[in-house]
Amino acid sequence: MKNADAKIVKNLDYGTSEDVLEIIENKVFEVLKTYSNVHRGSGHYSMITTGLFEHARSIILDYLQLNPKNFQVIFCSSYGSGLLESQMPKEDYRKLKSDDIGLSIGVTVLAVANRRIRKLLPVQTGGNVVRMVTADSVIWADTPNKFEAGTSAIVNIIMFAITLTVKERLRFGNLNYYKNDSIPINKILYEDKLTQYSDFQMLKELKKLQIGHGTTVLTADGEQLFINFDHAASTPTFTPVWDTVRMILRQPQTVHDELVHEVKENVKKFLNADSSTYETVFTLNSTESINIASQLIQNEGYANTDNVVVNTIFEHNSNELPWRYGTGYSRISISADRHGFIDVNGLERILKEFNHNHTFGKKRIRLIAVSGASNVLGTINDIESICNIAHKYEARVLVDGAQLVAHRIVEIDKWGVDYFVFSGHKIYAPFGTGVLLLKKTFVINNNHWKTVQRSGDENVVGIAALGKALVLLQRIGMATVEQTEMDITARLLSCLSGVKGIKVYGIREHDSENLRKRVGVISFSVKKILHDKVAKALAEQGGIGVRYGCFCAHRLVKHRSDLFFIMESVN
């Protein structure tokens, strides 16, 4: 499988083109046709992308002329790289950046000697870095995964590997040579073939431009259309987004800087956040955003009090482990009902005991970290009520919006959110950019913060893709997205309820007003059949890609004893 999947990288057809970027773009477009998240899904797309992603490690080692028996490759942002480098002498690793060859995709690679990698400590925690999580311990993933927190910039990494292969064959020095004259930002972000459409018509037309739509895969019954039900793990993208990526690849630094500023402002508009109150910071992914927020809170310091962070046992590992392993505060986890809804009255009682009655001495709750929507149950908590209660007792709220932002209108100002994080790959921009939106008053302007900002801004391609995806969704209108998704979710819940042996988790009433309180993530189990068997059958017999297992939410699964054999997460 590895050699077959690697053909996109290995079998480059150069033709007679002198345009190196065109060669690279053509191969990346092939990657996008079958893109999915890696190491997580059971479908054809996930297996192909995983093969390409892992093969990129081999290409990096070949390029650096390092023996794979002695070195391992870690993919990270420049910020994450700096944290790891601080643990190693320079003779124990080699470093390679996409910027070194004029490719503004924010990829930093560390090839670390095996003698050193075994001694390294994870510098960021969250999804992907662990195999199992309990209330008081974790089992770390194997190397190098335990150093790659969250979803890596998968497409960018494969693009980097392709570029290095082309570079070796064609002997070019730097891609800056192939860049064009400046194009106005309006043309890059706001102009495309769909500008005349809006609302449901825009949605209809955009669906036709999904890259990979209509792809067939081999199943037990022959060739069938692939059905990608793994959008909760990562989303595909659209031709207008790819066109924006192609344009920005060819632009000089001055245009890059202008675009980064424009998209930072547009993120605020999309999230309905006041520009003068909030700051947009680009990161590698949601996981890195939360790790950075954790460090900010650690560095604030409060005289004569002991800080406490509250989150729920229903969180994704990326919104649990950074708080567990942070320093300068303790952490408590609160429960929720069987659908994943937080008891806001119970939350207020806890806040009152800590911050008003001082029942626990110097301990004060400083932050509540909660998911906007559960990646397992689809549950949407009442963020506005949580923020109101938190602020009443002088606590802040961080919202992990990774599963919310592509499905519902987000009202940062109205809700009163203090920190909000999400990833581009969850919102049709799978090019490795995350977002940390936070109030400007929380920013500590020092060298560390400048390093964080520079690191995220390096991925101009990811920022451009995110900016374009937001523009497309703004034209559709998130109210239209919500209504369309609810209709589809209701249909699927209705169908599943009629299948004997299937159990759906979370809100399952397809004809209830409660349906508005969940996004289109549907987890279910099949009686007496193991989860991996169900997923394999769906892929091999129906050409349907899903995900199975614990979905990086181990504590949720453990808490819900009837979820020990949870099977699929379908979006």
At residue 14, the pLDDT reads: 44
Q: Which of 143, 178, 213 delimits the end of a domain?
A: 178
Range of the domain at 507: 478-570
Sole residue written with tokens 């969704």? 473
The pLDDT > 90 percentage for the chain reads 76
pLDDT (average), residues 153-170: 95
At residue 338, the pLDDT reads: 82
pLDDT (average), residues 103-112: 98
User: What pLDDT digit, counting tens, does each position of 16-63 carry?
Assistant: 344 788 999 999 999 999 999 998 778 899 999 999 999 999 999 999
Q: Within a domain: residue 300?
A: yes
At residue 455, the pLDDT reads: 97
Do residues 157 and 114 both lie within one domain?
yes
- The yes-or-no verdict on residue 187 having pLDDT over 80 is yes
At residue 304, the pLDDT reads: 84
More confident residue, 327 or 457: 457
Q: Within a domain: residue 30?
A: yes
Task: Write phi, then psi, for 521 (nearest 5 degrees).
Answer: -100, 115
| Helices and strands (DSSP H and E) totals, the chain | 21, 20
Do residues 75 and 122 both lie within one domain?
yes
Please give the tally of structural domains in the chain. 3
Q: Within a domain: residue 309?
A: yes
Q: Within a domain: residue 200?
A: no
pLDDT (average), residues 338-343: 88
Q: Report the C-alpha gap between 490 and 485 in whole angstroms.
A: 8
User: What pLDDT digit, counting tens, does each position of 172-183 carry?
Assistant: 777 876 677 799
- The yes-or-no verdict on residue 203 having pLDDT over 50 is yes
The pLDDT > 70 percentage for the chain reads 93
**Domain containing 303 — which CATH number?**
3.40.640.10
* Position 169 confidence tier, pLDDT thresholds 50, 70, 90: confident
* Position 552 confidence tier, pLDDT thresholds 50, 70, 90: confident
| pTM of the predicted model as reported, rounded to 2 decimal places | 0.94
Do residues 484 and 441 both lie within one domain?
no
- The yes-or-no verdict on residue 84 having pLDDT over 50 is yes
Cβ neighbours for 287, distance < 8 A, ≥ 6 positions apart: 124, 125, 126, 127, 128, 149, 150, 151, 318, 322, 434
Q: Which of 124, 150, 178 delimits the end of a domain?
A: 178
- The yes-or-no verdict on residue 556 having pLDDT over 90 is no
Q: Within a domain: residue 189?
A: no
At residue 558, the pLDDT reads: 64
pLDDT (average), residues 215-235: 93
At residue 138, the pLDDT reads: 86
Do residues 499 and 423 both lie within one domain?
no
At residue 177, the pLDDT reads: 66
Mean pLDDT score of the chain: 91
More confident residue, 168 or 349: 349
What stretch of H or E contains 270? helix 253-270
Contacts of range 164-171, beta carbons closer than 8 Å, 24 or more positions apart: 164/59, 164/60, 164/63, 164/101, 165/9, 165/10, 165/12, 165/59, 166/12, 166/14, 166/20, 166/23, 166/24, 167/101, 168/63, 169/12, 169/14, 170/14, 170/20
- The yes-or-no verdict on residue 116 having pLDDT over 80 is yes
Q: Within a domain: residue 254?
A: no
Do residues 164 and 103 both lie within one domain?
yes
Instruction: Output DSSP code: residue 448.
Output: H
Q: Within a domain: residue 467?
A: no
- The yes-or-no verdict on residue 571 having pLDDT over 60 is no
Q: Which of 140, 162, 178 delimits the end of a domain?
A: 178
At residue 2, the pLDDT reads: 42
Do residues 112 and 171 both lie within one domain?
yes
Q: Within a domain: residue 183?
A: no
Do residues 408 and 291 both lie within one domain?
yes
Do residues 500 and 381 both lie within one domain?
no
pLDDT (average), residues 295-312: 88
Do residues 445 and 488 both lie within one domain?
no
At residue 173, the pLDDT reads: 75
At residue 5, the pLDDT reads: 44
- The yes-or-no verdict on residue 386 having pLDDT over 70 is yes
Q: Are 384 and 396 contacting, i.e. CB atoms less than 8 angstroms apart?
A: no
Strand pairing class (138-140; 216-219): unpaired
Do residues 392 and 541 both lie within one domain?
no
At residue 144, the pLDDT reads: 97
Do residues 413 and 486 both lie within one domain?
no
**Domain containing 533 — which CATH number?**
3.90.1150.10
Do residues 155 and 21 both lie within one domain?
yes
* Position 314 confidence tier, pLDDT thresholds 50, 70, 90: confident
Q: Which of 141-155, 458-472, 539-553 has the lowest mean pLDDT?
A: 539-553
